[in-house]
Amino acid sequence: MAPEVEIYQQNKIIPKEISKEAKIALSYYPELSKIKIEFRFKEKIRKSFMQAQPKFTNLFHGKDNRSYYVFISSKVRIEDEDFTVDDIPSDVLIGWLGHELGHIVDYRERSAFGLIFFGLRYVTSENHIINAEKMADTYAVEHGMGDYILKTKNFILNHSKLSESYKNRIKRLYLSPEEIVVLVNEFDTAK
């Protein structure tokens, strides 16, 4: 059975389970109001809980006509326990979605070929992943989502149910809570 979805801003498709959180995250990104984004549950995402990516079918239709997916893993199996969106506090989910929207802001600036190379390098280069993830967090903080991003980060790092290998991956590839605080302060003083 297909999940119930809500249409928002005439161009966002959002599953009902996360529509409240997605709308709050979107409210921090007014420049995405005209952009088509489909939030969709997916059985399994390689090594992550959410993933933003351009739709390949209209990648070459020009920057303003492209659309994007935010995939959300319907189940994350960690040490024999299933972990779903229902186990995640609302604010943490908002931060997670805000991070993915940060990726979309980043993708919007890139050409179609640029995005293809970006995707290839994401698979092949760990340094490239670090830069891409830093960029997404930076956009989210810049858009005023610093507190949410911090909650998400702390949730992942302090959550006992998550495996050590997953936490280590997060520590290696993503900004630390301390680095996020530095970013938040930088943007606060720049205002």
CB of 40 closer than 8 Å to CB of 69? yes
Residue 35 or 49 with smaller CB distance to Zn ion: 49
**Three-class DSSP category at 152:** helix
Q: How far is the CB of 133 from Zn ion (least distance, A)?
A: 5
Give the interface segment with Zn ion, choosing from 63-71, 81-89, 133-141, 155-163 (CB under 5 A). 133-141
Residue 35 or 50 with smaller CB distance to Zn ion: 50
25 binds Zn ion (CB under 5 A): no
Distances (CA, A) of 188 to 106, 138, 145, 151, 191: 21, 13, 12, 18, 5
Output the CA torsion sign for 173, 79, 20, 68. positive
136 binds Zn ion (CB under 5 A): yes
Give the interface segment with Zn ion, choosing from 58-66, 110-118, 128-136, 147-155 (CB under 5 A). 128-136
Q: How far is the CB of 130 from Zn ion (least distance, A)?
A: 11
Residue 22 or 136 with smaller CB distance to Zn ion: 136
- CA dihedral of 166, 169, 171, 175, whole degrees rounded to 10: -110
Q: How far is the CB of 189 from Zn ion (least distance, A)?
A: 26
Residue 66 DSSP code? -
Spell out, one character per residue from 103 to 122, where the chain touches Zn ion: x when CB under 5 A holds, - when not.
Answer: --------------------
Q: How far apart are CA 127 and CA 58, in angstroms?
A: 28
Residue 76 or 136 with smaller CB distance to Zn ion: 136
Instruction: Please give the residue ranges that form the binding site for Zn ion (CB under 5 A).
Output: 133, 136
